[in-house]
Amino acid sequence: MAIRKILTYPEKSLLQPSLKVDHIDDEIKKLVKDMGETMFDAPGVGLAAPQIGVNKKIIVYDFNAPSQGDDEKKQEFTALFNPEIIEASGSIVSEQEACLSVPDYSADVKRYERVKVRALNIDGKKLEFDADGILAIIMQHEIDHLDGVLFIDRISVLKRTMYKKKLKKKIKET
């Protein structure tokens, strides 16, 4: 396993739609292990393959994310292939949502309260599950990455412009 470099905005590849995974072989399984290790090292609760420069519809997420206060929680993650949201309902504000690919910034983002996700698991078996709360937010955030959408694309133009100006200034200084 290896920790991979996480790409950050304004990397253009983060804005590209990802390709469907046709089969899950040993190479893909190694990639998934690297993604899990990278996510926990960052630290984060979810990671999409495009964030490490792989243009495939793969996400991993912290299996224990809803219980963030537990200091002794195990580092377990789940991988999903070709995930898609097939139903969504309700409305919630994800307070101070952040992203490993958008460093040093967080914002309130309007999300669905509940989603139904269809995907393949690591064994290539089809699955569907309902998610609410933090898990629903993680699913929406990570699936957005597969569509080339960052959470800053879901905030007001003013806030997004302020972030971009701050980032340009930071880039000039380095």
Token pair recorded at residue 66: 């809803």
The answer to the question of residue 3 being in a domain is: no
Q: What's the pLDDT at 171?
A: 80
Is 37 a catalytic site residue?
no
Q: Which are the contacts of 95, defined by CB distance < 8 A and separation ≥ 6?
A: 108
Using a 10 angstrom Cβ sphere, with 0-12 exposed, 13-18 middle and 19 or more buried, the burial of residue 118 is middle
The answer to the question of residue 86 being in a domain is: yes
- Alpha helix stretches (DSSP H) within the chain: 26-41, 133-146, 157-173
Contact 52, 35 (CB under 8 A): yes
Instruction: Indicate the helix (H) or strand (E) that contains 86.
Output: strand 77-89
Rounded mean pLDDT for each run of 10 residues along the chain, 174 residues in total: 92 96 96 97 96 98 69 81 98 95 94 98 97 96 98 94 88 80
The answer to the question of residue 124 being in a domain is: yes
Contact 79, 95 (CB under 8 A): no
The answer to the question of residue 2 being in a domain is: no
Contact 135, 143 (CB under 8 A): no
Q: What's the pLDDT at 66?
A: 58
The answer to the question of residue 4 being in a domain is: no
User: Which CATH number does the domain housing residue 150 bear?
Assistant: 3.90.45.10
d(CA 9, CA 105): 11
The answer to the question of residue 5 being in a domain is: no
Q: Which domain range does residue 131 map to?
A: 12-173
- Structural domains in the chain (count): 1
DSSP secondary structure letter of residue 155: S
- The catalytic position among 27, 76, 113, 142 is 142
Q: What's the pLDDT at 47?
A: 98
Phi/psi for 67 (5° steps) reads -110, 55
